[in-house]
């Protein structure tokens, strides 16, 4: 009986304490959106990051802890465009939270607010795990981060009107610093233009387009299909003789395929952070792009 009382007490305490002090509870599906929410929300928000940079964003488990966090969220920010289709619908359907249902001010599908690349003209699973709304890995173009930032600020002002001026000034400050950073990155990355790159998965297309790189091919034969030994040896044949400058893999991907391909073709391999936390240098959104560019420049011959 005593133990039950302690348990009930602890539960009641949990319900009162934890994130309830902050004005707005934000559930961020992915690290980049958690970082953006922290930049824009400051100490008026409490951000829960549902996944980390070492996890494949397509394949997160709909864990009980995520359902519990979605339950108390005032705002959920995810990529959308079906990136989280294997897990987010379960969270939304079981959390019992009207505030974060799609269509509410408390739900942001970031990909809706940017120009998406690679919208398929032919929808067929024979093409692998393609997304009808286009390539969902939108965070790797900093212009997209800026656009999503504006949306997030507007939603924060709507949900937490009392602190609207605070969000507005944080947004102005962030957008200013971000705009300067973009100019700096674009100048810094100018020598990378035309760099021929072989990423593991089609998750860098926004970075590639922004910096003017050239995607030669992917290590995956089709999106979401891991390369077989046969496919890898075929790639070696196609890449021998200098058809590409660099092989790339994101932090969450198994290094084996990229490393062996790089060794056999003598093409350097680069590990890209992909999102905030993917590499020690990618501590925040600024670090994400600083590190991505410096890593690419380091391997450029």
Q: Could you list the residues that contact another protein (CB under 8 A)?
A: 11, 14-15, 18-19, 51-52, 54-56, 59-65, 67-69, 71-72, 82, 85-90, 92-99, 101, 103, 115-116, 119-121, 125, 128-129, 133-134, 224-226, 252, 254
- Residue owning tokens 């670090």: 287
Kindly state the smallest distance separating residue 291's Cβ from another protein, in Å: 19
Q: Are 245 and 298 in contact (CB under 8 A)?
A: no
Kindly state the smallest distance separating residue 266's Cβ from another protein, in Å: 26
Kindly state the smallest distance separating residue 22's Cβ from another protein, in Å: 13
Write the CB contacts of 253 (distance below 8 Å, at least 6 apart in sequence): 56, 200, 201
Closer residue to another protein, CB minimum distance, 92 or 148: 92
Query: d(Cα 57, Cα 24) in Å, to the nearest integer?
Result: 24
Kindly state the smallest distance separating residue 33's Cβ from another protein, in Å: 17
Kindly state the smallest distance separating residue 98's Cβ from another protein, in Å: 4
Closer residue to another protein, CB minimum distance, 3 or 187: 3
Q: Crossing angle of helices 285-299/31-41, nearest 10°?
A: 130
Closer residue to another protein, CB minimum distance, 120 or 176: 120
Write the CB contacts of 268 (distance below 8 Å, at least 6 apart in sequence): 245, 246, 247, 262, 299, 301
Closer residue to another protein, CB minimum distance, 113 or 166: 113
Closer residue to another protein, CB minimum distance, 123 or 187: 123
Kindly state the smallest distance separating residue 69's Cβ from another protein, in Å: 7
Q: Are 148 and 36 in contact (CB under 8 A)?
A: yes
Query: d(Cα 34, Cα 110) in Å, to the nearest integer?
Result: 12
In three-state secondary structure terms, 202 is coil
Closer residue to another protein, CB minimum distance, 116 or 155: 116
Q: Are 273 and 53 in contact (CB under 8 A)?
A: yes
Closer residue to another protein, CB minimum distance, 107 or 286: 107
Checking 8-15 for CB contacts under 8 A at 24+ apart, the result is none
Tokens standing for residue 63: 């864990």
Q: Phi and psi (nearest 5°) for 27?
A: -100, 110
Closer residue to another protein, CB minimum distance, 71 or 196: 71
Q: Are 269 and 249 in contact (CB under 8 A)?
A: yes
Kindly state the smallest distance separating residue 68's Cβ from another protein, in Å: 4
DSSP E strands in the chain: the ranges are 24-28, 45-49, 75-78, 107-109, 196-199, 214-215, 246-250, 269-272
CA 225 from chain centre, in angstroms, equals: 20
Kindly state the smallest distance separating residue 238's Cβ from another protein, in Å: 22
């Amino acid at each position: 009986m005593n133990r039950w009382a302690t348990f009930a007490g602890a539960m009641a305490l949990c319900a009162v304490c934890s994130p309830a002090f902050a004005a707005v509870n934000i559930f961020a599906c992915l690290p980049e959106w958690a970082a953006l929410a922290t930049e824009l929300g400051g100490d008026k928000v409490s951000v829960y990051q549902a996944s980390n940079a070492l996890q494949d964003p397509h394949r997160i488990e709909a864990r009980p802890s995520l359902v519990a966090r979605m339950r108390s969220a005032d705002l959920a920010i995810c990529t959308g465009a079906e990136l989280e289709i294997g897990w987010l619908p379960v969270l939304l359907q079981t959390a019992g939270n009207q505030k974060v249902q799609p269509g509410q001010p408390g739900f942001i599908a970031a990909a809706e607010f940017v120009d998406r690349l690679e919208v398929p003209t032919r929808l067929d699973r024979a093409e692998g795990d393609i997304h009808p709304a286009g390539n969902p890995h939108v965070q790797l173009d900093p212009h997209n981060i800026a656009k999503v930032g504006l949306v997030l600020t507007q939603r924060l002002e709507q949900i937490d009107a009392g602190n609207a001026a605070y969000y507005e000034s944080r947004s102005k400050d962030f957008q200013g610093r971000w705009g300067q950073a973009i100019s700096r990155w674009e100048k810094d990355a100018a020598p990378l233009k035309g760099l021929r790159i072989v990423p593991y998965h089609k998750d860098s297309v926004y970075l590639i387009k922004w910096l003017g790189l050239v995607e030669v091919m992917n290590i995956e034969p089709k999106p979401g299909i891991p390369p077989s030994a046969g496919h890898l040896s075929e790639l070696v044949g196609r890449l021998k003789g200098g058809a590409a400058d660099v092989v790339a893999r994101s932090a969450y991907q198994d290094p084996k395929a990229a490393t062996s391909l790089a060794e056999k073709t003598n093409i350097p391999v680069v590990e890209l952070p992909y999102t905030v936390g993917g590499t020690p240098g990618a501590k925040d959104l600024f670090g994400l792009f600083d590190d991505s560019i410096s890593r690419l420049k380091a391997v450029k011959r």
